Structure 1
Amino acid sequence: MNCVSFDAFRTLHLPDVRYIKPEHMFRHRAEIEAADWVLFPQYWQVNALVFGLKKRIFPSLSSYLIGHDKVQMTRAFHMLVPSHTPWTLIEPNDPQNADRVWDQMALPFVAKIPKSSMGQGVFLIENRAGWNAYLAQTPVIYTQELLPIDRDLRLVVVGGQLVAGFWRCQSHNGFHNNLSRGGSVDAETPLPQAAIDLALKVAQELEIDHAGFDVAMVDGYPYLLEFNRLFGNTGLQGLSQKVSAAIQAHLQAANDHDDDDDDPKDPTPPLPIAV
């Protein structure tokens, strides 16, 4: 299996992968066309690769399109699993909408900048001053109810399989659970099956094949917060190697399936034998 990668770090443990710098994509068209898979392109490359060269990419096109910002992601969640999605208001950022959202949300609530990650651009709104500070930083109003939790789950799903999972406990510096914002890992407490089932269902239905799903548990009921197409590998020892092995298995299985589909079939069924 011949693969081209645009992310050397995330494909370090994969065999038979040729790394190309993203900015050199057009210089290496022949190598890209000859590849079975194109791995981890940057978002700006996706249209040229998928629609221009008709290449198979990993992560999937759905992972890129839905995971590009929280607005698209949340709308997909609302359509697929509305009862597992926290109450969310999304509006253009103008004074009229800002006042309407402020009047509807009960304090405290969460506000997010749609294109952000690693806990950046996530605010706990407790008063009007915090609300105004948030409005000054975001092009779109994205607000969500504050769930009564002090931890959430990170569930890593690759190729339809749960690769790893752990609890992310709230940092001492605020309400963030992200490891990059001071959160800590609890790998001992069991993972709720309801959360696992939810993440796997959403991954399958939305065709998300490489993601870290963040799930909150409230009285045993799972709420899907978001997923990260490019999740960190620092939560558990050996996570990077486990993810690489899952990627390799997923790509090979897809390749084998395509090879089976290409096998010539005899279009003429055998004649029945007279008895």
Structure 2
Amino acid sequence: MSATVADQVTVVSVTYKSARLAERMAATLSPFKHVVLVENGSLDRCPERMRELLPHATIIERRHNGGFGKASNEGAAVATTPFVLLLNPDCHVDEKAVATLVEALHRCPSAGIVAPQSWTGAGEPQMSYRHAFFEHMPRSSYRVPDAICSAKWLHGCCLLIRADAFREIGGFDERFFLYYEDDDLCLRMRLAGFECLLEPAAHAVHAGGGSSGTSMRVAFIKAYHYARSRHLAIRKYQGYPAALRYRVKTLLGAFTAVPLYALLLQRNYVIRWLGWGSAAFVCFWREPRPAP
């Protein structure tokens, strides 16, 4: 990486039970001059391993898991460079791709975020941009764009963000513990007058699910926070009546789906609907309200 690009970018990566990814993370992050790792309260050996493998990194150890947005805000607050690269522990991006993203933000001063096109380890393209979550568009297969384009959502696994713009909008809304925090960030960027861009000339490889397990407990927690965050996003961008309809629909669906899938011995669907239904029930009594 050129000295010029290296001086402009701080990589912020939030880790949670990511010790098994330490070697791969270190290989990805070693070319970068400024690295901040935020350990989100998982109490594994990831911080110790990263200190050994990446001694120049700044490591913030949180006692409790405050969610991706909160941890990312804390990591970005340490950065003193013009750009912050938010990078998932299970995502790989090389120096050339980052240089391409930096160039895109220099070329488009109205942009606050730019993302690369992400690919699976098997070489399949991942959906890296789309319309807003509340916009009903005709279903179609995902196509990698031919050139840089504007979007209302960018995949959060790898985002190069203009630090001043990030601070101007207040960073992530920390009410989103997991899921929809990238939707909200992009929408607030656009409301503040900043474009969100996808640069297909830059590539990232995203394995997915690298910081979580496959137990029933993990599946339930993910389903719970997905439904809770979706409710919050609907409440924030579509209003209270739409959020209420979503709660009622989800809760009634859970009452029907859980016993049905239990009879069919479909454990994964049982856990999913239990998580969704639990979130809907809790939101009736303790509704997560969006930031003013």
TM normalised by structure 1 equals 0.30
Relative to its length, the structure with more helix (as a share) is 2
The higher relative CO (CA closer than 8 Å, separation ≥ 6) is in 2
TM normalised by structure 2 equals 0.28
Structure of larger gyration radius: 1
